[in-house]
Amino acid sequence: MELTDRELWTLIHGMGLGAVFLLAFGGGLASLWSLRSKLVTEEGLAERTPRLLIGTTVMAVVSWLTVIVGAWVVYPWYRAAPPEGLDLAVQSDALREFPRYWLLAGEKTAEWHKFGMEWKEHVAFLAPFLATAVAVAVLYYGAQLAHRGDIRRALLIFFTLAFAAAGIAGLFGALITKAAPVA
């Protein structure tokens, strides 16, 4: 049982950081939703706020790490060009080492690149912007968020959009890896 460097980095990018992101989102969303002055006492706020701060900060940091590792470590392996002379129209074993070109060589698989990867590689970068905005707001207001319904509602929207962006990227990442692994 052995993992190549590429498999290890793909695992870190998708399952490691991705799983932490999902966990942080679940915890953060529940904490944000219930952080209302009419629902919790001052003691409750003091107990929940650090957890919310940790959840949102982890989500922001992990989203940055995920896109940086994805774009600058894993993606170059995905889009590496095959040597000259290799037939780009046939899904041969030799072409399998070049996932982008292997996908494009097949009529049934080309859309995984043209639609899936093209959307994934770009939309993923929205997640760290949105998650950072949420983490900064939580860090700035802390327990006072319970008294700022306008900000809390905006945070819920941004938090959900960050999750949507990361979710689209994660889903297509998993499906594309299944169709043409970077290994």
Partner 1 sequence: MQSSSTVQTKPNGPVAAVFLAAGIGSFVLGLFVVLNEVSTDISNFLKFDANYGLGSGVGPLSGKAILGILAFLVSWLVLGLLFRGREVRFGPILTIALILVAAGFLLTFPPVFEIFLPKEA
Q: Site residues (CB under 8 A) for partner 1?
A: 37-38, 41-42, 67, 71-72, 75-77, 79-80, 114-115, 118-119, 121-123, 125-126, 129-130, 132-133, 136-137, 140-141, 144, 146-151, 154, 157-158, 161, 165
Q: Output 123 or 179, the one with its CB closest to partner 1.
A: 123
The least distance separating partner 1 from the CB of residue 65, rounded to whole angstroms, comes to 14
The least distance separating partner 1 from the CB of residue 88, rounded to whole angstroms, comes to 17
Residue 3: closest CA among 181, 173, 179, 180: 181
By residue count, the chain amounts to: 183
CA within 13 Å, CB half, 68? 8
153 CB-contact burial (10 Å; exposed 0-12 / middle 13-18 / buried 19+): exposed
Structure tokens at 110: 């080309």
Structure tokens at 150: 């306008």
Q: Output 95 or 131, the one with its CB closest to partner 1.
A: 131
Q: Output 96 or 129, the one with its CB closest to partner 1.
A: 129
Structure tokens at 68: 């940086």
The least distance separating partner 1 from the CB of residue 116, rounded to whole angstroms, comes to 9
Structure tokens at 70: 């994805």
The least distance separating partner 1 from the CB of residue 137, rounded to whole angstroms, comes to 4
Q: Output 88 or 151, the one with its CB closest to partner 1.
A: 151
Phi/psi of residue 2, nearest 5 degrees: -155, 145
Report CA-CA distances (Å) from 145 to 16, 41, 56, 110, 131.
31, 13, 14, 47, 17
The least distance separating partner 1 from the CB of residue 1, rounded to whole angstroms, comes to 29
Q: Output 33 or 90, the one with its CB closest to partner 1.
A: 33
